[in-house]
Amino acid sequence: MSRLRLSSFLALLLAAHPGIAAGPPSPPTPSTDTRPLTVHFFDVGQGDAALVISPTGKTVLIDGGPPEARERLAARLRTLVTGPLDLVILTHPHLDHLGGLTDALRAVGARRFMDPGFNHPSEAYRDLLGFVGESVGQVMNPEPNPATPDSLLTIGLGEGVSLTVLWPRAPKEPFLVGTRSDANSNSIVAKLTYGRTAFLLVGDAEPDTEAALLQRPLDLTTTVLKVAHHGGRHSSTAAFLAAAKPQAAVISCGAKNDYGHPARETLERLDAVGAHVLRTDRDGEVVAASDGHTVTLRANGGTGALLVVPGGITPGPIALGPVVPGHSRPGRGTVEPRDEVKAPSPGTAPGERGSTPANTEGQGPYVGLKGSKVFHRETCSTLKRSKSERTLFLNREAALRERRPAEDCHP
């Protein structure tokens, strides 16, 4: 039962040309009559959970809060989501990020699950993987495509909205080990872009993660930063914040938590780069809505105080060159990525289901080549022959909005 490799998923491997900047296609100018891109930063107490809803209704849940918040999170998802989540991302296998996921999946379901694939020996994580293996169609890691290993993985969410994974990059690059917390350090870091606006979602990234990102040719600028590790004092280094230049920063933490999150030093560093800070412990659920030009943030689940910030992002590729480290850092070992998912009972293998992703059910994924007006099945031989940049559509409906079916594979 092997975990689906993204090579077979053919996810939006950008940048087939070595030496040429990789990145998603330039987003179309968002029109004023489309729905906004919305990100709900839920109030889950001491933990993280955020829901992305794209203008076309694609949904991505990033983390599922601590166990204490599971009923609240499931109830909130039921009111916001119709049908299964298109993608669930577990940034890393800590309990304050995964504790509510099983109930969330039971409440609304999910088509795909992605986590870093970093091995973590906890019962809660093992149980979650078991549940995911049985209930979610595709289980995958954010691994670069072997054919274009220096590019980034980008997932199209329609209307020019893209979610690009910046870290980790195993097996192309080893996981970070020997850090303050290796699980935190290998958090999935993703940049969500829409027009001139962006959200940088960094899980519990550590200073080592930030340094690794800074060593690579990446555009880290963002409109909104989901602050690392609940505002802990080690993360959100001055160098990282200087590169990210956030206009607004959201800290997900519990009221009167035991960790002293957010740390005073972190708040000072955010202030020093001019970021307006919102905190779930004080502001409740923070709802951020982007029209592609500005981001409007509201407290208390969208009913509270209003903050409008300019996008400030130059649309274009996030990878400013082949994504390789600038220089290697001393003292780093390597660990092998985990590629097995243990399910508690035999049954349909998620990897097997995923390797012929629900094309037969019209669920995709489908792939479009840059400069073309058509989309293909991910198994189409035309794709194997082409070195053009690719865009992934999570389902047929999304593909049809932007392109027509190819004549060769009749997707």
Binding footprint of Zn ion on the chain (CB under 5 A): 94, 96, 184, 204
Strand order in the sheet with 197-201: 276-279, 248-251, 224-226, 197-201, 189-194, 162-167, 153-156, 390-393, 366-369, 374-377, 404-405
Q: Which is nearer to Zn ion, 96 or 219 (CB)?
A: 96
The one-character DSSP state at 300 is G
Q: Which is nearer to Zn ion, 263 or 380 (CB)?
A: 263
Least CB distance from residue 267 to Zn ion, whole Å? 18
Q: Which is nearer to Zn ion, 99 or 133 (CB)?
A: 99
Q: Which is nearer to Zn ion, 251 or 273 (CB)?
A: 251
Q: Which structure tokens are listed for 334?
A: 């390597």
Q: Which is nearer to Zn ion, 187 or 363 (CB)?
A: 187
Q: Which is nearer to Zn ion, 45 or 315 (CB)?
A: 45
Calpha distance 6→172 (Å, rounded): 12
CA 384 vs CA 13, 149, 264, 333, 366: distances in Å: 12, 15, 52, 34, 13
Least CB distance from residue 202 to Zn ion, whole Å? 11
Least CB distance from residue 57 to Zn ion, whole Å? 29
Q: Which is nearer to Zn ion, 54 or 235 (CB)?
A: 235
Calpha distance 47→50 (Å, rounded): 10
Calpha distance 181→160 (Å, rounded): 35
Least CB distance from residue 212 to Zn ion, whole Å? 17
Least CB distance from residue 323 to Zn ion, whole Å? 24
Please, are residues 289 and 195 in contact by the beta-carbon 8 Å criterion?
no
Least CB distance from residue 47 to Zn ion, whole Å? 6
Calpha distance 236→226 (Å, rounded): 10
Cβ neighbours, 10 Å, residue 171? 18
Please, are residues 89 and 61 in contact by the beta-carbon 8 Å criterion?
yes
C-alpha dihedral sign at 6, 7, 10, 12: positive
DSSP codes joined into one string, 123-175: HHHHHHHHHHHHH-SEEE--PPPTTSTTS-EEEE-STT-EEEEEE--TTTSPP
Least CB distance from residue 49 to Zn ion, whole Å? 11
Q: Which is nearer to Zn ion, 115 or 219 (CB)?
A: 115
CA 411 vs CA 106, 284, 406: distances in Å: 30, 44, 7
Least CB distance from residue 93 to Zn ion, whole Å? 8
Least CB distance from residue 118 to Zn ion, whole Å? 11
Contacts of 383 (CB under 8 A, 6+ apart): 10, 367, 369, 376, 390
Calpha distance 66→59 (Å, rounded): 21
Least CB distance from residue 235 to Zn ion, whole Å? 10
Q: Which is nearer to Zn ion, 38 or 184 (CB)?
A: 184
Please, are residues 249 and 229 in contact by the beta-carbon 8 Å criterion?
no
Q: Which is nearer to Zn ion, 116 or 292 (CB)?
A: 116
